[in-house]
Structure 1
Amino acid sequence: MTVAPLRAPTTLTTPWALLTGILGVGSALAAGDLVAGLVAPASSPFLVVGDRFVRLTPEWLKQAAIAAFGTGDKLALLTGMAVVLAVLAVLAGLAGRRRPGPGIAVVVATGAVALVTTTLAPTFRAVDLLAPLAALLVGTAVYAAVRAAAAGAARPARHGAGVSRRRALALAGGVAAGSLLAGAAGRLLAAAPATSGAAVALPPAPPAPSLPPDASLPGTPAWLTPSADFYRIDTALQVPRVDPAAWTLRLHGMVERELTLTLADLRSRRVVEAPVTMVCVSNPVGGTLVSNARFTGVRLADLLAEAGVRPGAEQLLSTSVDGFTTGTPVRVVTDGREALLAFGMNGAALPVEHGFPVRMVVPGLYGYVSGCKWITDIEVTTWAGATPYWAERGWAREGPVKTQSRIDTPAAGATVPSGRVAVAGTSWAPHVGITRVEVAVDGGAWVPARLGAEVGVDSWRMWRTEIELGPGEHTLSVRATDRTGTVQTGREQVSIPDGATGRHTVPVTAV
């Protein structure tokens, strides 16, 4: 009796090993995105891990990323994550060249990280586990199947390698095509906003006053920023998709009467429209992270009066549907300014990326303490009772916007004709107001500029002047004075912890 020799493990060629790892990890990503898009868009394993990375990243590293990539910091993060996954795919493939076990272990470990991270998300629900589970199971199964097919293709011809090779190639091609389609479908499903016709038609509000013709001036931005151009800065790697029919807002904590409002409840109250300039605390001196829009909504002060704020309350801890939190001083919201729960922007429903269906807008405060988007919960509490997202990372607690001004024309580095040169730009001190803007050339005397019309104390104000420039290189500087008499400081300070300071300067060359 003869015993057939045991077949030695089949060693894959490097190309087949790499392809096996890439298809295993790639199919896992695609399956996770597809299932997330179908049942819970916020549970995409790729984005959940990315969000966790953002939350754990030290503040100095975040600021370095913002300095290096600006508003492209999220794209840079996602690109970096894709590179890391590609490396893991390569490792999985190479680890499984002789035996499938080590490669499968890499795929399983990657899926396990997504599972654990999902459970740690601030808005975790049991249904969120479906996407990472699907990713783990599909990735493992695909890796094992492709690895087995590749092993068959690597055997000598007498074992039917020709047929096995064709089958392996067909399987690999099918998996690649299926993964691409599944991933694309998942992304499309996740990106589709849950809107309704009722959410688009805004309830009546007092008509907005007509805009003075000199609200904008030649060389300045438009006084009203189009919604598509309004700056967007938030922590969301994926814009939350909120069904307006299911949305509710809970107002609770240090109040006499807890309120739970639907969108219809909110829109049935007295509606106001207010022009508000919003500023990001990360905006550098002369930066563009500042915009102006007409917001439609209800006054926060009215809701707080209805709920009955108890003595000792200090902050409104607002929570977004994705778990992000802001802390807004109660005294600011109730001092008479148009602090809103806004559901409209520039005459239409809020765009999804700006907080649809409802966001908070508080004039005079940086967005990180006042601009909670996709808001779903407001807890009235004390400063000691809760610490919001950015305060945990060392940013200032209250965040009033600093008086600032910016030169928009001419642009930095521009070449201009010598002689009389028009200089124009923007200034802002929301809820305080701008009373004076001055321009200096090469550190010389300050020359007053003409101010555009003041449309509202909560909005920015345009300015313009003409100066004499001789041939050569020059530096233009600008400073603003607000209604309290405070002159914009020349002391330079970075954004952390409460906003950048300094005076915007622009180099130009006159010829």
Structure 2
Amino acid sequence: MTSTRPSRRPRPPRYAAGSFWWRLLRAWIAAVLLSALGYAALIWAGWAYPPITLYGTLTQWLGVPAIFQLLHRLLGLGQNAKLLAFSGVAVLWLGGLSLLGTLERPLIAGISLAILCILGLGALGWWMPLVYGLVFWALLEGVNRLLAPAPMSAQSTAAQPDQTRRTTTLGLAAGGLLAAGGGLTALFKPGSAATTTAALAPGDPLPFGVTPVSQFYYVSKNLEAFDPRLSAEKWTLTVDGLVQNPRTFSLTDLKQFAPVTSERTLSCISNPVGGPLISNGIWSGFRLSELLREVGLQKKARFVLWEAADGYTESLPLGEALDPEILLVTQLNSQPLNTKHGFPLRVLIPGRYGMKQPRWITRITLSAEDQPGYWVKRDWSKTARVELMSRIDQPPEISPNVKAGAPTFIRGVAFYSQPVTRVEVSTDGETTWREAELVKPRSVYAWTPWQLAWTPQTGSHMLSVRAFSGEVVQKTAQKDALPEGATGHHTFEVQAS
């Protein structure tokens, strides 16, 4: 008697029609298509983009000074920390959409997306999540129908691998679409409208100490790919709130105000001691006080609230905002502001770090109550007043080698909200100090270049610099940049051989 064992049922292929992996692959394709369509709507119509809103929610706690400073130490200055944060957003967004898309009914997946966006991303309102939910449903239905396998028969069985390969290929193509320009990776750096150095008059070079636009420091709360790109023809500035005559100005309307040109230094609050996040430029625009006089102020007005096209907010007490030295600017070094630096309009406030001077301004509101700005909500400085600083640029810290016995110069810049009156340099680890020669700045709001003649002897030299502004002395305590701005002497070792 021969025993027979029941034959084992063959395991279905991982990507067989109806399997979880099959549904996940199709949902991935729909998720990428939805992301690409949403990014196109953001660029062409200015619609809200859920990944950006999710990114803002994530950076709400990443922007807290302690965490931000840690990320700077690990990843350096610039966009690296933002790229890391947005990579996390991409995983959450695409992964979440793909899992939702595996539900048996696409309609349920679309409704679930809309509800989750409404509950988790309140800034989107209610109709935008509804649109995303409906489009996701439609895309799931479309992908399912497009890739639905033909009815099985003896003749069509052999076609199943081809169907699987086609679905897999489309999934890879969707991933390629995402990486090529779907908007979620945001790892590219789009060109700016005007990044070449321009003279203040045809044929004239930039004055000494002025930073070319192409070298001007850039810091943004956004990934550069998501910085606002505004149209000069469509852009408007709304001035409302506690004013007598609310107005909406076009870029042409702003030409009615008397033009002002001023050389000013701008520094980022996150600039470390000796860091590169400081530049000097010649700005052109008009006085904020004239704009406020044009619309008239109500008696209850106490604060000026700024709002930018990327959702950035800041504020300033009205008494300070009426200072005639506060400018709304449209040009840098005789060029219209480019995208990086706030086209078409930004704020310039003397003696404050860049976080207090928003770009891409679209609204100015007069209010009886203050509202904390974007970074103030994340525990950064409320006043953002600049610290007295000095920096050594020559010899460069990244290549601290000089020729022994050869006369040379130690050079750099110093900056404060008041005139710099003295700069001192030490070449022996702050044991002794020598006074440097100052190059008188053309503006009280511009940095002060300085230099010190030096003939180094063979060996190691510890260079340091400190600045003075009247009775104010540069702080010696080494303090992190956040939340009030870095302090301490710029110090590094130089080898002479």
TM-score scaled to structure 2, two decimals? 0.81
* Corresponding residue of 2:271: 283
Whether the aligned pair in 2 keeps the contact of 1:104 and 1:143 (CA below 8 Å) is: no
Q: Distance in 1 between matches of 2:82 and 2:409?
A: 37
Whether the aligned pair in 2 keeps the contact of 1:29 and 1:135 (CA below 8 Å) is: no
Q: Distance in 2 between matches of 1:416 and 1:193?
A: 37
Whether the aligned pair in 1 keeps the contact of 2:301 and 2:366 (CA below 8 Å) is: yes
One-letter code of the match for 1:446?
Answer: W
* Corresponding residue of 1:4: none
Whether the aligned pair in 2 keeps the contact of 1:271 and 1:297 (CA below 8 Å) is: yes
* Corresponding residue of 1:414: 400
One-letter code of the match for 2:401?
Answer: T
Whether the aligned pair in 1 keeps the contact of 2:329 and 2:345 (CA below 8 Å) is: yes
State percent identity of aligned pairs. Answer: 26
Whether the aligned pair in 2 keeps the contact of 1:410 and 1:423 (CA below 8 Å) is: yes
Q: CA deviation at 1:20?
A: 5.7
Q: How does 1:460-471 map to 2 (within 5 A)?
A: 460-471=447-458
* Corresponding residue of 1:472: 459
Q: CA deviation at 1:322?
A: 2.2
One-letter code of the match for 1:498?
Answer: E
Q: CA deviation at 1:355?
A: 1.4
One-letter code of the match for 2:212?
Answer: P
* Corresponding residue of 1:120: 123
- Asked if residue 54 in structure 1 is aligned to residue 59 in structure 2, the reply is yes
One-letter code of the match for 1:376?
Answer: T
1:234-277, Cα deviation, whole Å (9 max, x unpaired):
22231112222222222233333333212111123222222121
Q: Distance in 2 between matches of 1:307 and 1:126?
A: 34
* Corresponding residue of 2:4: none
- Alignment equivalent of 1:322, drawn from 292, 310, 333: 310
Q: Distance in 2 between matches of 1:385 and 1:440?
A: 45
Q: CA deviation at 1:447?
A: 0.9
1:305-342, Cα deviation, whole Å (9 max, x unpaired):
223334564432100122210112333332332x2111
Q: Distance in 2 between matches of 1:144 and 1:107?
A: 16
Give 3-state SS (helix, strand or coil) of 1:509's partner: strand
One-letter code of the match for 2:419?
Answer: G
* Corresponding residue of 2:168: 172
One-letter code of the match for 1:170?
Answer: R
Give the 3 Å change call, closer, same or farther, for CA 132–454 of structure 1 in structure 2.
Answer: farther
* Corresponding residue of 2:49: 44
* Corresponding residue of 1:491: 477
1:360-401, Cα deviation, whole Å (9 max, x unpaired):
1222111112x211111112235x432222222222222211
One-letter code of the match for 2:85?
Answer: L
1:178-225, Cα deviation, whole Å (9 max, x unpaired):
56447746549x999999x9xxxxxxxx989x989xx64xxxxxx222
Give the 3 Å change call, closer, same or farther, for CA 358–125 of structure 1 in structure 2.
Answer: farther
Whether the aligned pair in 1 keeps the contact of 2:391 and 2:413 (CA below 8 Å) is: yes
1:394-446, Cα deviation, whole Å (9 max, x unpaired):
2222221111111112222622222344211121114x122221111212221
Q: Distance in 2 between matches of 1:263 and 1:397?
A: 30
* Corresponding residue of 1:76: 84
Instruction: Return 5+ residue gaps in structure 2 as ranges.
Output: 1-8, 195-199
* Corresponding residue of 1:350: 337
* Corresponding residue of 1:268: 256
One-letter code of the match for 2:157?
Answer: A
Give the 3 Å change call, closer, same or farther, for CA 159–104 of structure 1 in structure 2.
Answer: farther
Q: How many residues align?
A: 469
Q: Distance in 2 between matches of 1:36 and 1:317?
A: 29
Whether the aligned pair in 2 keeps the contact of 1:342 and 1:361 (CA below 8 Å) is: yes
Farther-moved stretch of structure 1 (457-466 vs 325-334): 325-334
* Corresponding residue of 1:203: none
1:4-49, Cα deviation, whole Å (9 max, x unpaired):
xxxx997442799667635533541333222431453453333332
Give the 3 Å change call, closer, same or farther, for CA 405–193 of structure 1 in structure 2.
Answer: closer
- Asked if residue 229 in structure 1 is aligned to residue 207 in structure 2, the reply is no
TM-score scaled to structure 1, two decimals? 0.79
* Corresponding residue of 2:243: 255
* Corresponding residue of 1:162: 158
Give the 3 Å change call, closer, same or farther, for CA 139–405 of structure 1 in structure 2.
Answer: farther
One-letter code of the match for 2:219?
Answer: I
- Asked if residue 336 in structure 1 is aligned to residue 336 in structure 2, the reply is no
Q: CA deviation at 1:300?
A: 0.5
* Corresponding residue of 1:438: 424
Give the 3 Å change call, closer, same or farther, for CA 107–228 of structure 1 in structure 2.
Answer: farther
Give 3-state SS (helix, strand or coil) of 2:473's partner: coil
Q: Distance in 2 between matches of 1:359 and 1:19?
A: 50
Instruction: Return 5+ residue gaps in structure 1 as ranges.
Output: 1-7, 198-205, 217-222
Q: Distance in 2 between matches of 1:455 and 1:281?
A: 24
Q: CA deviation at 1:470?
A: 3.2
* Corresponding residue of 2:410: 423
Q: Distance in 2 between matches of 1:88 and 1:380?
A: 41
Whether the aligned pair in 1 keeps the contact of 2:288 and 2:321 (CA below 8 Å) is: yes
Give the 3 Å change call, closer, same or farther, for CA 424–342 of structure 1 in structure 2.
Answer: same
Q: CA deviation at 1:286?
A: 1.0
Farther-moved stretch of structure 1 (310-319 vs 240-249): 310-319
Q: CA deviation at 1:177?
A: 3.0
Q: Distance in 2 between matches of 1:422 and 1:163?
A: 77
Q: Distance in 2 between matches of 1:352 and 1:463?
A: 32
